[in-house]
Structure 1
Amino acid sequence: MSATPASIRPATLRDLPETVALLTQAAQRRSLLDPQLWRVAADASARVERAVGAALSGTTSPARDLWLVAENAGRIVGVSHAMIVPVPPIYDAAAGVPGLLFDDCFTSPDAPSGTAEALLVATEAALSAMGASTLIASCAAADALRPLYERHGYEPVTLYMAKHRFVADALPPGVRPASAEDVPAIVTLSAKHRQILAEVNARFWHIHSEADRRFDSWMRRSLTLKDRDMFVAGSAGEVRGYIIAQPGSALLVPAAHEIAAIGVIDDFCDQTFTHVSAAPDGGPSGEDLLAAAEGAFRRRAVDSAIVVCPAAWPSKVALLERSGYRTAKLWMLRR
């Protein structure tokens, strides 16, 4: 390990081979934390080269994508990846601009002491210069960078809870595929869900004044998309809850992993956990909705799923844990 500090600078295409090697090494280490979820693709290096190469050449990457490297003695010993994240339409972009540090921030074990911290400080400064007013760090729950983030004032705001190996059973009683007729009731439930989000962390979740109309449009569009499955719980004419089983996202899964084998559940709301701290009540519809989504994933040959869950929502966390989900990764918000 060199005693000379690493220098931090923007990555260039000349850095691509060493950056690919570092990110592939990072994926292999991440896989040790959860081999099923973080399965390393057989062509991991080629996938990383395509993704990072496109970003550094500017061919497919958004203008607000940021790659920095740490260089020491002519070697690349660390990399960070961050970007200004577009705000989903149901949230108010005017309330703040989020800057996200991705999971594929990594420092070589033989890098000079302090390299990871120097990369973090430089990345935060670059994001702030790009207009970020809120800083978020994404990492595996047991990632080596998590203690560093915590020392810099980051704390969990969103849990990504994972489960593996599903069965494609018939839909549970009381759960059915969603239809356009269910959308008004889904929007009403979503409004309650959004109100809770604002209560548990008003700084992170700023609800747009036209959220209902925008969510209505998105739900109607979601019903037409062939890459996802949408279910509701409740008797005819009643909706107690809803869930959408959708494909994995590059925002959540680094390029070296088998993203096609990972599904995501983001839109999931049920009356059984609409009280933040209280024990779930009112029947098993939350578990039934999860079972329906898991069956849909199995039929699509997806054998792992991540459910997005606010860290400060104990009743929802408890429901997921009872159903076999465990926290696999985090979004951490800087205080």
Structure 2
Amino acid sequence: MSPIIRPANTDDIPSITDLLVREAEARCAIDPVLWTVAPDAAARTDHALKEALTAAHQPFRQIWQIAEQDGRIIGVLHAMCLPVPPIYAGRHGEPGLILPDSAVAPDAPDGTVDALVGSAEHALADAGASILLTAHVTGATWQDVFRARSYEPLTLYLSRADIGADIAPPDTETRPATEADVPGIVARSAEHRRVLARIDPFWETHPDADARFAAWMTKSLGLADRDMRVAGASPDLQGYIIAQPASRLHFPPTHDIAGTGVIDDFHHLDLADPAVTPRDGHGARALLRSAETAMAARGRRAAFVVCPAAWHSKAELLKDAGYGLAMVWSIKR
């Protein structure tokens, strides 16, 4: 008998929490540093679920659905309407995203995952999403269902869980960014965005992207939780990189993210051609190592780097630097 798919309610929280903690433990078995399970994982998840299911004002639209069979909850799916970053046009509105804090019981019948995903797609479409995204951890059972439902890789999340093991000595090729570097960072970012737009129309640039990015870079210079590094002399910078703390967009509340850093904004002239791996790539590697050293100095052991799936030169550079695939975001139009 097929399970019943329905919206979650507060009575479901204990069962959902149990499923999500078990799923977190499975992720931890894949990579115990990147996916460290929080000591109070159950309490964190319980709190997050109560907020999501009862709070009158939410920062974004959330959807929680469960699969139920014979009065027992055997699966849960979490989805959201993803706010569009201000540097992108977002002409199709907020995409719908199926998040990785979704799970099914080991004894759930075949088709449970597919039924949850199909129901979530309908709910996200009803919420106005015309583009659908999914996030799954490599090795998870969900990826086959996403592939069968015509999702294609959009963004790779490559990780390294030993960045404190080989801290690089001080280098003279990179340095901390200053306010005087903002125009050069914006120029390199504009180049980065042009490549993204060629790779996939999903990343269509907003007309005011330069001004918006400049304002965010100026503000970021005053944020104490991140390190901004540049290579070269202003205004003709060779590249820039920003290492910042991990966020809950990528990590469910079951995981302790205190020891994890994320690199999203990273571009260097070595990576200007997304199809061709740089012959040397020394400058880009030096910039990456400087960010790793900064994260290690903050006590972060794991790094998560965001890389478009079709940006092959960046992906190859990261793999050569010891990064492996940890999570994939896929798209269905």
SS at match of 1:110: coil
Contact 2:179 2:218 survives alignment (8 Å): yes
1:298 to 290, 296, 299: 296
Change (3 A) 1:57 1:268: same
Report the counterpart of residue 311 of structure 1 in structure 2: 309
Deviation at 1:322, TM superposition (A): 1.2
Deviation at 1:95, TM superposition (A): 3.4
Deviation at 1:60, TM superposition (A): 6.4
Aligned length: 331
1:100 to 78, 97, 100: 97
Report the counterpart of residue 40 of structure 1 in structure 2: 37
Give the Cα–Cα distance (whole angstroms) in 1 for the partners of residues 139 and 208 of structure 2.
Answer: 38
Letter in 2 for 1:190: S
* 1:55 partnered with 2:42: no
Report the counterpart of residue 187 of structure 1 in structure 2: 186
Deviation at 1:210, TM superposition (A): 0.6
Residues 288-327 of structure 1 show CA distances to partners (whole Å, capped at 9, x for unaligned) of: 1111111111111111010000000111111111111111
Contact 1:166 1:303 survives alignment (8 Å): yes
Matches within 5 A, 1:188-207: 188-202=187-201, 204-207=202-205
Change (3 A) 1:308 1:96: same
Percent of aligned pairs sharing the same letter: 44
Report the counterpart of residue 242 of structure 1 in structure 2: 240
Deviation at 1:47, TM superposition (A): 1.3
Give the Cα–Cα distance (whole angstroms) in 1 for the partners of residues 39 and 24 of structure 2.
Answer: 12
Report the counterpart of residue 140 of structure 2 in structure 1: 143
SS at match of 1:21: helix
Report the counterpart of residue 264 of structure 1 in structure 2: 262
Deviation at 1:117, TM superposition (A): 0.8
Deviation at 1:220, TM superposition (A): 0.4
Give the Cα–Cα distance (whole angstroms) in 1 for the partners of residues 152 and 29 of structure 2.
Answer: 23
Q: Can you give the 5+ residue segments of structure 1 that lack an aligned partner in the other structure? A: none
TM-score (norm 2): 0.96
Deviation at 1:209, TM superposition (A): 0.6
Give the Cα–Cα distance (whole angstroms) in 1 for the partners of residues 280 and 116 of structure 2.
Answer: 48
1:166 to 163, 168, 181: 163
Contact 1:273 1:281 survives alignment (8 Å): no
Give the Cα–Cα distance (whole angstroms) in 1 for the partners of residues 28 and 148 of structure 2.
Answer: 25
Deviation at 1:59, TM superposition (A): 5.5
Give the Cα–Cα distance (whole angstroms) in 2 for the partners of residues 281 and 272 of structure 1.
Answer: 9
Report the counterpart of residue 67 of structure 1 in structure 2: 64
Give the Cα–Cα distance (whole angstroms) in 2 for the partners of residues 10 and 236 of structure 1.
Answer: 53
Residues 74-106 of structure 1 show CA distances to partners (whole Å, capped at 9, x for unaligned) of: 111100000000000000122332100000111
SS at match of 2:213: helix
Deviation at 1:235, TM superposition (A): 4.0
Contact 2:183 2:235 survives alignment (8 Å): no
Deviates more, 1:178-187 or 1:24-33: 24-33
* 1:78 partnered with 2:67: no
Residues 200-226 of structure 1 show CA distances to partners (whole Å, capped at 9, x for unaligned) of: 111x11110110110110110110111
Letter in 2 for 1:194: R
SS at match of 1:266: strand
* 1:251 partnered with 2:249: yes
Deviation at 1:170, TM superposition (A): 4.2
Report the counterpart of residue 230 of structure 2 in structure 1: 232
Letter in 2 for 1:317: A
Change (3 A) 1:48 1:10: same
Letter in 1 for 2:110: S
Contact 1:174 1:235 survives alignment (8 Å): no
Deviation at 1:237, TM superposition (A): 5.3
Deviation at 1:43, TM superposition (A): 1.3
Matches within 5 A, 1:125-140: 125-140=122-137
SS at match of 1:216: helix
Letter in 2 for 1:156: P
Give the Cα–Cα distance (whole angstroms) in 2 for the partners of residues 36 and 51 of structure 1.
Answer: 23
TM-score (norm 1): 0.95
Give the Cα–Cα distance (whole angstroms) in 2 for the partners of residues 210 and 238 of structure 1.
Answer: 22
SS at match of 1:251: coil
Contact 2:259 2:299 survives alignment (8 Å): yes
Give the Cα–Cα distance (whole angstroms) in 2 for the partners of residues 266 and 188 of structure 1.
Answer: 17
Aligned Cα RMSD in Å? 1.4
Contact 2:60 2:83 survives alignment (8 Å): no
Give the Cα–Cα distance (whole angstroms) in 2 for the partners of residues 111 and 278 of structure 1.
Answer: 44
1:332 to 326, 330, 333: 330
Contact 1:247 1:263 survives alignment (8 Å): yes
